[in-house]
Amino acid sequence: MYGCSWCWKIFIRKINMKYKAYIVEDNNGAFNGSIKELEVPKLEEGKVLIKVINSSLNYKDALAATGAKGVVKSYPFVPGIDIAGKVIGSSSSHFTEGDDVIATGYKIGMSEFGGFGEIVHLPENWILKLPKNLSHFDAMSYGTAGLTAAACVKKIFDANVKKDLPVIVSGATGGVGSISVGLLSKLGYEVHAVTGKSSEIEILKMMGATEIISRDDYMSEPIKPLDKALYSAAVDTVGGDILAKIISMVSNHGVVSCCGNVGGATFSSSVFPFILRGIQLSGIDSAESSIDLKSELWNLLSDEWSLDLVNQTKTIKIDDVGSEINKILKGDQIGRVVIQHGE
In this predicted structure, the answer to whether residue 209 has a pLDDT above a threshold of 80 is: yes
Q: What is the pTM of this model?
A: 0.89
pLDDT (tens digit per residue) in 38-55 = 999 999 999 999 999 999
User: Rounded to whole angstroms, how far apart are CA atoms 94 and 90?
Assistant: 9
| 45 CB burial (10 A radius; 0-12, 13-18, 19+) | exposed
User: pLDDT tens across 190-199, in order?
Assistant: 999 999 887 7
Domains and CATH numbers, the chain: 5-130+309-340 (3.90.180.10), 149-286 (3.40.50.720)
* pLDDT value at residue 141: 95
Angle between helices 136-158 and 175-186 (to 10 degrees): 60
Q: 181-188 long-range CB contacts below 8 Å, 24 or more apart?
A: 181/207, 181/208, 181/209, 182/207, 182/208, 182/307, 182/309, 183/149, 183/150, 183/153, 183/305, 183/307, 184/153, 184/156, 184/208, 184/235, 185/209, 186/305, 186/307, 187/153, 187/157, 187/305, 188/163
pLDDT band with cut points at 50, 70 and 90 for residue 174: confident
Contacts of 333 (CB under 8 A, 6+ apart): 57, 174, 175, 324, 327
Mean per-residue pLDDT of the chain = 90
Residue 272 has pLDDT above 90, yes or no: yes
233 has pLDDT over 60: yes
* Residue 336, pLDDT score: 85
pLDDT of residue 84: 97
Give the pLDDT confidence of 52-79 residue by residue, as tens digits: 999 999 888 998 988 888 788 889 999 9
Q: What pLDDT is recorded for position 291?
A: 95
